[in-house]
Amino acid sequence: ATGVATVKILRTLMTLGTMANINTMIDTETGEYLAAEHGVEINLKDALSIEDEVITKIEEIEDDPDTLQERPPVVTFLGHVDHGKTSLMDKIIDKNVVSGEAGGITQHIRAYIVDKDDKQIAFVDTPGHEAFTAMRARGANVTDIAVLIIAADDGIMPQTEEAISHAQAAEVPIIVALNKIDLPGANPDKVMQQLSQHGLLPTEWGGDVEVVKTSAISGEGIDSLLETILLTAELHEYTANPDRPAVGVCLESEQESDRGVLAKVIVKNGTLRVGDIVVCGSSHGRVKAMYDTLNPRKRLTEATTSTPVSIAGLDQAPGAGDKFYVLDDIAQAREIATLRADRSRSESLGTHTVKVSFDEFQKRREEGTLGNNEAAATLNIIVRADTRGSIEALQKEMEKLDHPEVKVRTLQASVGAVSVADVTLADASDAVIIAFNVIPDEAARSLADDNGIEIRRYNIIYKATEELKALLEGRLKPEE
C-alpha cells in the first residue's frame, strides 16, 4: 500500500539485519526508517489509535462517587509449602459453600466467593507468590488483602519471607493465619517473635498486623479469620460501581471439548452479564454462558464486582493476567483483539526493551524522566546473598547512602540463589536484582533476559555500595 516494491523493502530490511517476509511485523523505529529510506509517508499511529481510543478511554473512566457501592474484598493466600494453604481453603469452602459440588474443571488457580454474615469474601488461590506477582507485573492487580499462612510448629520459612516481600511490594494489607495451632509442637510466641523481626508486629503486641490462630483440621479459628478479613475490608472501604460495563482480569482459561473456550475471570468493577461483548488480551467474543466457579454446572446470568466466574463464548483462550473489557461493538472488539495478536507475534520475533537497569535508571535520571514525584525517584532493589551476615553488612552500608532526590528501597533481602520469584517481583516492581556472592539459577537467568531485568553480581560489599552511591549521584560509569 506504499507504492514501493516489496522486494525493495525486504532488501532494505536485510541490510538492517532483519530477515523478513511480507507478513513480518516490524517495530515503529524500523517502520520509520523504512519510510524515510524509500521516501514515503506512513502513519504508524493509526494502527494503535483504536486501542487507545477504546481501551484507554475505558481505563480512564472515573466512577462518580455517588455510584460507588461496597464490594467484597478479594483475598489471596500466600505461604510456605505445606503450611496449610490448600487445607485452609478447602475448609473454608466446606463450611461456607452449600453446593458441595466443587471441582469439575481442572483448577490451577482456584477462585470462588463465599458468604459470611450477610457479606461475601472472594478468594483467589494462586499457585504461589510467583503467580501472584506475575499477574501484578501485567497490571492485573486483583488482590485486596493477603493472608499469610504460617504453620505454628514450623515458623517463618524461606518462602514465607518471599511471600512477605511480595505482599509488601503489592502494598496490600497482610493478615497472618497462624495455622496448625492444634499440633503439640505449635509455638505461637516464637512465630510472633519472628513476625516482629520481619517488620510485621502483631496487634497483640501493640502492632497493626492481625494474627489469627487457625487449624485447618479442627476448623478452629476459621470463623475468626473470615471475620478479621471482613473487618480489614471495612477499614479499607473497597467499592465499585455495579452499573458500569464490567472490567476485570482473566485468571486462567482452557479449551473444553463440549463448551469451547472456558475462561475463569474475576470482575474488578461493574457487572458482567450473559450477552456482553468482551475483549480479553487478543481474544474476543460474546459471553454465551457463565458458570459458578465452584459448581461448573450451575449457570449464572450475571457476575457482580469481585465475583469470579467462568465464561464461555470467547474465540480463543486468553492468558492468565489478561485484562478484559466490555465493549458495545463486536467489530471493534475483533479489531482490537486482532491488532493485539499481530503485535504480540511481532514482539515475540525479537526486540525487547530493558525494563530497569542501573544504566537505564541513570539515563532516565539524566533525561529528567524520573519525574519529581517520590515513587519515580526511587530505585527498587532486591538483594540475594550467600549469608545473613552479607545482607546485614550490605544493608548497613546502604543505610549510609543518602541523597536528597533519589532513594534506594530494598523490596526483599534474602539468602540463596536468585530465583524466578525474584525476577517476577523485580518485573512487577521495576527493581534491579543485586546478587551478592550468589548466582541466578538457570530459569531465573533466562526469565530475566526475556523480561529485560538486570541482575547485578558482586562479591565485594564496597563495590556494590560504591556503584549504588555513584548511581544516586548520577555519575555511574557505563558497565565495562
Chain residues binding ligand GDP by CB under 6 A are: 79, 81-87, 179-180, 182-183, 215-217
Measured from the CB of residue 133, what is the shortest distance to ligand GDP in angstroms? 18
DSSP label at 66?
A: G
Contact 289, 258 (CB under 8 A): no
Nearest to 316 by CA among 249, 246, 257, 263: 263
Between 79 and 285, name the residue whose CB sits nearer to ligand GDP. 79
Report the alpha-carbon distance of residue 124 to residue 121 in Å, rounded: 10
Q: 191-195 contacts: CB < 8 A, separation 24 or more?
A: 191/150, 191/152, 191/155, 191/156, 194/155, 194/156, 195/150, 195/156
The smaller minimum CB distance to ligand GDP, of residues 79 and 155, is found at 79
Nearest approach, Cβ of residue 186 and ligand GDP (Å)? 9
51 vs 153, which CB is nearer to ligand GDP? 153
Least CB distance to ligand GDP at residue 218 (A): 7
Q: Choose between 85 and 365: whose C-beta lies nearer to ligand GDP.
A: 85
Least distance in Å: CB of 192 to ligand GDP? Answer: 17
Strand arrangement of the beta sheet that strand 174-179 belongs to: 110-116, 119-125, 74-79, 145-151, 174-179, 211-213
Compute the least distance from the CB of residue 90 to ligand GDP, in Å: 7
β-sheet with 378-385: strand ranges across: 407-415, 378-385, 431-436, 455-458
Terminus-to-terminus CA distance in the chain, angstroms? 45
Residue where the block lists cell 539485519: 17
Q: Please say which residue, 86 or 332, places its beta carbon nearer to ligand GDP.
A: 86
Smallest distance from ligand GDP to CB 456, Å: 33
Q: Which grid coordinates belong to 98?
A: 452449600
Which of residues 148 and 277 has its CB atom nearest to ligand GDP in the complex?
A: 148
To ligand GDP, the closest distance from the beta carbon of 112 in angstroms equals: 16
**How far is the C-alpha of 370 from the C-alpha of 376, rounded, in Å?**
5
State which residue, 73 or 128, has the beta carbon closest to ligand GDP: 128
